[in-house]
Copies of this chain bind each other. A is one copy, B any other.
Amino acid sequence: MAETRWLDDREMRAWNGFLAASALVNRRLDQQLKDDSGLSHPQYEILVRLAAAPDHELRMTELANGLINSKSGLTYQVTQMEKAGLVRRRSCPSDVRGVFAVLTEAGLARLEAAAPGHVTTVREILVDVLTPEQLDALAAGLGEVSRRLREQGA
């Protein structure tokens, strides 16, 4: 096949920065959430997406597609959160197979309690560290990256 096009210096720095930041940010976030609110990062994401959804409910599949988990991983997390009373399952009337995950009062309360600390951390470790130009470059560049991966992966 064609010669491999190795990464030059600039590309290498960007790639390494991305990889390192990705790992470190995720770790830090997980820790802050767990310490302050007893939620894992995946669980927090689920709460956010449910809270943003109409009627505070989403189909399992939609929730899984968001990202993060495989289907089975989602099943597991929702089960955990159901035990904790943050979420409730409701079967879909029009399709017997379908299952909605519904945010409970307690779930919403838990999210609202966790959000301020979470946002503060996000600013601290990433948003407030970047210049406005860098923020825009991230939004545009990584947005495009995600878009491609999403449709390609489908």
Given contacts A10-B136, A139-B13, contact A25 B126 (CB under 8 A): no
7 sampled A-B residue pairs with Cβ under 8 A: A7-B122, A13-B143, A15-B126, A17-B142, A20-B146, A22-B26, A125-B149
Please state if B17 and A139 are interface contacts (CB–CB under 8 Å). Answer: yes
Binding-face segment, A74-82, A84-92, A99-107, A127-135: A127-135
- CA A153 – CA B125 in complex, angstroms? 11
A residues with a Cβ closer than 8 A to B are 4-7, 10-11, 13-18, 20-26, 28, 67-68, 115-116, 119-120, 122-123, 125-127, 129-146, 148-150, 153
Please state if B149 and A24 are interface contacts (CB–CB under 8 Å). Answer: yes
